[in-house]
Amino acid sequence: VTQVFSDLATFRAACDSARSTQKSVGFVPTMGALHHGHATLAQTAKSECDWVAVSIFVNPTQFGPNEDFDRYPRTLEADVRILEPMGVDAVFAPSASLVYPLGDQTRVHVGSLAEPFCGGFRPGHFEGVATVVSKLLGIVGKCSAYFGRKDYQQLQIIKRVVTDLFLPVNVVGVPTVREPDGLALSSRNRYLKPEDRQQALSLVRGLRAAFDLFEQGERNVGNLRQASCKLVERDMTKVDYVQLADPDSLEVYQDNQSAGSRLLIAMAAYLGTTRLIDNIVLGEDPRPKESI
Ligand code: PAF
């Protein structure tokens, strides 16, 4: 059975107790509203670790004042029902006042990795993510922690935080899970109306366009970017960015540059008021499949 904890000391004791019996600890931080992408993170953790904990916490500090914190889906009971049959050992669902007690003063600020892409459009977002993940890892202790590659910039930032703060954590990036039509899974997909679905697919179409050109040998950043951007702009309400960058440093390439053997293409765009993101690493990830 999955034990559900809301108290810091007892959850930390459960993590310590697993390690004291020589079990390896896997940890999957989430904001709940779990979908098959999260389930894949938990499954991967279960296949690699002896004892697995999932945290469910809608982190207020990573939402901007005009973002969807209030309407973000909160579905704790359904989430636990998804995790239980997968053999997840513990769920940690703390309150906001536990994670951010009155008067807490520490925030984890990440440098240039947090500046491009979503960093420019969501001020403070990655500071909120880095802070809450550091707090959660501080409670769990030595573990392997699992994050989806769909939030590629977040994954790179967390790897950096763990390195820079000497946290005893092995960060594992897990491939993006997609619907059969290619749409990347996201808790925000449940905001989409059925008639929005076709347009939402323009993100993955944009990625495929860049993938195909790259496979044909195209290395000019402008050509790759524009082929992709054209499709996204045609169908989405508003495009925040379609950009190419070094997959490790996240240094953004300009249109007149030419790419090396690996290249991140990342995008964020709105459909109505719903903001969606997607990415692949050209030269590394497979072509996002379309089975229908
Ligand atoms: O990716 C998420 O769901 C969140 O950003 C995370 C890592 C759980 C931090 O709140």
User: Digits of tens for pLDDT over the chain (292 positions)?
Assistant: 999 999 999 999 999 999 999 999 999 999 999 999 999 999 999 999 999 999 999 999 999 999 999 999 999 999 999 999 999 999 999 999 999 999 999 999 999 999 999 999 999 999 999 999 999 999 999 999 999 999 999 999 999 999 999 999 999 999 999 999 999 999 999 999 988 999 999 999 999 999 999 999 999 999 999 999 999 999 999 999 999 999 999 999 999 999 999 999 999 999 999 999 999 999 999 999 876 5
Mutate to test the pocket of ligand 1, among 72, 131, 154 (most ligand atoms within 8 A of CB): 154
Residue nearest to atom 1 of ligand 1 (CA): 30
Dihedral pair phi/psi, residue 53, rounded to 5°: -120, 140
| pTM higher than 0.95 | yes
The one-letter code for the residue type at 287 is: R
- How far does the chain reach from its first CA to its final CA, in angstroms? 38
d(CA 20, CA 177): 34
The distance of Cα 128 from the centroid of its chain, to the nearest Å, equals 13
H/E stretch holding 127: helix 125-140
For the question of residue 35 being annotated catalytic, the response is no
- Contact yes or no for 91/83 (Cβ under 8 A): yes
Residue 225 pairs in a beta bridge with none
| Pocket of ligand 1 contains residue 31 by CB under 6 Å | yes
Ligand 1 closest atom vs CA 187: 3
Pocket test for ligand 1, best of 122, 129, 160 (most atoms within 8 A of CB): 129
CA 29–ligand 1 middle distance (angstroms): 6
